[in-house]
Structure 1
Amino acid sequence: MARKIGSRYTANQILGRGSAGTVWLGEGPEGPVAVKLLREDLASDQELVGRFVQERTALLGLDHPNVVSVRDLVVDGNDLALVMNLVRGTDLRTRLDRDRRLAPEAAVAIVADVADGLAAAHAAGIVHRDVKPENILLDMQGPLGPGGAHPALLTDFGVAKLIDSPRRTRATKIIGTPDYLAPEIVEGLPPRAAVDIYALATVLYELLAGFTPFGGGHPGAVLRRHVTETVAPLPGIPDELWQLLVQCLAKAPASRLRASELAARLRELLPMLAGMPPLDVDEPDPELDEEPETPTGEQPPPSGEPVRRRGAVPLVPGAKPADSNRDTHTSMRVPAPDELAGGARGTARVPRPAGARRPGSARHKAIARRRRIALSAGTVVLVAAVGAGAWWATSGDDAGATPQDTRTSAPATP
């Protein structure tokens, strides 16, 4: 059902939904557009509307081939909308859902495009704050690049900042998507350009591996890993590319590359990646990496069954529960220092060759524990059998034994 957006635009068809709002295929004075209509509860927030208007000049001035340009910002009654260029294609999450992972050459080409777009945004003083595959669009009508990659454009600029108003989040909340949040955001520091580099490096890792380096399981565990864990190596990629990933996933923001440097370095690596197939690694099981304690009053699962964690919880008031940590613009409490310090300090979610069991994983430990139980049970049975045999043999001997024979099998007396 069509609806008017302000006086100049008409929204005709829903293209997608997120926790911040709905994207519509629309029509404007200059042709087709994409309209991001924010949730009604956000539109009714007068402080947010004021910030929306303040950001207008910066967002309208951001013009780059690898950025989905914002054409207009509409404030009309209960409608709060960003009108953007329409990209004929799909988003990177859809591509990942289909292919699971990309060949290194294509992955690097896509991320280099996004880094170019971030470089222009950072030069204009704009931090995206929610870089992830859902916000990277692939232009199917553009020319193919290295590895057959379609041109990549970054969208949803400004939305995270608009929602992150002081009244809505205060100093105890963080805005973002758990899988891609930089450590300094988790620790409650203000977001700078380096948070986008960390998130983009996480996207590159995901394109190569098929999973994010610190994701999986409850959002609280994901946030803790960002702060306390080191990224696990990916087998099968050139060392130059791995070192670049490690640098951009550094815990210290100052250690990361700038967006323009990242784009240039990635393009330098493209020739050595030509023809490389996608990596063949298995994702660590997100439900078995951590075994929570059994809550008081609950019975532990039967022996041999894996302990599974509860699903992800909704992080935005009014949002539906989801199984993924990739919801857009989630709001979450900043963990306390003791919470961040909890858990092991080491390498998290270690990838492994396809089909191989990861030593030290919860599944590996569960199997080892079951083996120990089985071995212990077998030992008890064996000891009982040996004892019974010894008793039977002794009883049989005693029946026909002489007093001297009996004494030889009895303990010596003082």
Structure 2
Amino acid sequence: MARKIGSRYTAHQILGRGSAGTVWLGEGPDGPVAVKLLREDLASDEELVGRFVQERTALLGLEHPHVVSVRDLVVDGNDLALVMDLVRGTDLRTRLERDRRLAPEAAVAIVADIAEGLAAAHAAGIVHRDVKPENILLDMQGPLGPGGSHRALLTDFGVAKLIDTPKRTRATKIIGTPDYLAPEIVEGLPPRASVDIYALATVLYELLAGFTPFGGGHPGAVLRRHVTESVAPLPGITDELWQLLVQCLAKAPASRLRASELAARLREQLPTLAGMPPLDVDEPDTEQEEDGEPAEAAPSASSAAAPSGRVRRGSVPLVPGAKPDSNRDTHTSMRVPAPDELAGGAHGTARVPRAAGAPRPGSARNRSATRRRRITLGVAAVALAAAAGIGTWAATSGDDAGATPQDTKNSAPTSP
């Protein structure tokens, strides 16, 4: 059913729902638009509405070929809406759910597009704060790029900042999606442009591997890995691309590249990646939790059945048991872990990828194989011991059978 959004726009059809609101296909004075209508409880928050109006100039002035432009911000009664360009295509999460992982050339081309969009935003003083596949749209109507990639655009600029008001999150909360949160956000530091670089590098890792470097399991465990674990190498990619990933996933924000530098370096990599097939790696098994038992992977909108029947792990919902929705928004607050909680995790390399079919060291599958080998070796040892005992008994029996009465007398005490 159609509904009016302010005096200039009409929303006709729901395109998707998320935790922050609903996206509608709408119509405006200049043609079709996408209208993101925020939740009513957000619209009734006077502090948020004030921030919404303050951000208007910055958001309306952000125009770039790889950014979904915000055309208008509407504040009308209970309606609080962002009116954006309509992109004819799909989001990157949907593409990942279909293909699981992309060829390196296509993955790098998509991420280079987004890095260029971020460079423009950062130059304007805007930090996205929620870069993830759900917020990357693929324009299916434009020409194809390197590796058959579609032009990529970053959407939802400003939404995380609008919702992240002091009243709503206080000093002990964080906003974002666990799999893509930079370590400094987990530790409660203010977000700078470098948090977008970390998140985008995480997206690149996911496009190449089919899983995020620190994701899987309980959100608290994911947050801790961002702070305490080093990223596991990906077999099969070039050294130059791997070094780029490592630098942009550095724990120290100052060590990461700027968005413009990342875009240029990725473009330089494209010729060396031409024709390279998607990586052939298995994603890690479920990590062990503190109780020593393997944890079940939390169901999420990005989960899909792997060929072996296991559930693939992607971004983890902050609210356990939350029902997935079509655009998988996760602008939800979560408590910042205390220092002792962050220090509680094992230090080392997280979730090590491996060649297809090979178990990861320390995984449930690997531990099971190790137990089987130990049992086999134990049974073999018992069998050998038994065989040796039988052989000794047989030899002793043979000696006794052929002994003389005097020999027998000398081998055992006799009664007086």
Q: Please, what TM-score do these two structures have when normalized by structure 2?
A: 0.86
Q: Which runs of 5+ in 1 are unaligned?
A: 295-305
CA distance in 1, matches of 2:68, 2:289: 42
CA contact (8 A) 1:147 1:274 kept: yes
Give 1:311's aligned residue.
298
1:307 Cα deviation (Å)? 3.9
Shift of the 321–90 alpha-carbon distance from structure 1 to 2, 3 Å rule, reads closer
Give 1:13's aligned residue.
13
Shift of the 376–105 alpha-carbon distance from structure 1 to 2, 3 Å rule, reads same
Measured against aligned partners, the alpha-carbon deviations of 1:179-216 in whole angstroms (never above 9, x if no partner) come to 10001001110000000000011111111111111111
1:232 Cα deviation (Å)? 1.0
Give 1:303's aligned residue.
none
Sequence identity percentage? 84
Of 276, 287, 290, the match for 2:288: 290
Task: Confirm whether residue 221 of structure 1 aligns to residue 221 of structure 2.
Answer: yes
Measured against aligned partners, the alpha-carbon deviations of 1:34-88 in whole angstroms (never above 9, x if no partner) come to 0111122222222111111111111011111110000111112222111100001
Measured against aligned partners, the alpha-carbon deviations of 1:202-239 in whole angstroms (never above 9, x if no partner) come to 11111111111111111111111111111111111111
One-letter amino acid of the counterpart of residue 259, structure 2: A
Give 1:89's aligned residue.
89
Shift of the 378–127 alpha-carbon distance from structure 1 to 2, 3 Å rule, reads same
Task: Confirm whether residue 355 of structure 1 aligns to residue 357 of structure 2.
Answer: yes
CA distance in 1, matches of 2:84, 2:22: 13
**3-state SS, counterpart of residue 334 of structure 2:** strand
CA distance in 1, matches of 2:410, 2:261: 90
Give 2:306's aligned residue.
none
CA distance in 1, matches of 2:145, 2:390: 77
Give 2:303's aligned residue.
none
Query: Comparing 388-397 with 132-141, which one deviates more in the overlay?
Result: 388-397
CA contact (8 A) 2:219 2:317 kept: no
Give 2:308's aligned residue.
none
Give 1:212's aligned residue.
212
CA distance in 2, matches of 1:67, 1:215: 26
**3-state SS, counterpart of residue 171 of structure 1:** coil
One-letter amino acid of the counterpart of residue 364, structure 1: N
Measured against aligned partners, the alpha-carbon deviations of 1:353-375 in whole angstroms (never above 9, x if no partner) come to 11122223232023213443565
Shift of the 327–366 alpha-carbon distance from structure 1 to 2, 3 Å rule, reads farther
Query: Comparing 41-50 with 130-139, which one deviates more in the overlay?
Result: 41-50
Measured against aligned partners, the alpha-carbon deviations of 1:150-180 in whole angstroms (never above 9, x if no partner) come to 1110000000001111111111111011110
1:279 Cα deviation (Å)? 1.1
One-letter amino acid of the counterpart of residue 309, structure 1: E
CA contact (8 A) 1:311 1:322 kept: no
Give 1:300's aligned residue.
none
Matches within 5 A, 1:202-281: 202-281=202-281
CA distance in 2, matches of 1:156, 1:22: 12
Give 1:365's aligned residue.
367
Task: Confirm whether residue 99 of structure 1 aligns to residue 99 of structure 2.
Answer: yes
One-letter amino acid of the counterpart of residue 330, structure 1: T
CA contact (8 A) 2:317 2:330 kept: no
CA contact (8 A) 1:316 1:331 kept: no
1:397 Cα deviation (Å)? 11
CA distance in 2, matches of 1:233, 1:163: 35
Query: Comparing 347-356 with 118-127, which one deviates more in the overlay?
Result: 347-356
Shift of the 408–366 alpha-carbon distance from structure 1 to 2, 3 Å rule, reads same
CA distance in 1, matches of 2:363, 2:91: 33
Matches within 5 A, 1:64-79: 64-79=64-79
CA contact (8 A) 1:6 1:74 kept: yes
CA distance in 1, matches of 2:282, 2:40: 41
CA distance in 2, matches of 1:127, 1:13: 30
**3-state SS, counterpart of residue 171 of structure 2:** helix
CA distance in 1, matches of 2:380, 2:280: 39
1:104 Cα deviation (Å)? 1.1
Question: Moved runs in structure 1, 4+ residues, more than 4 A?
Answer: 373-398, 401-407
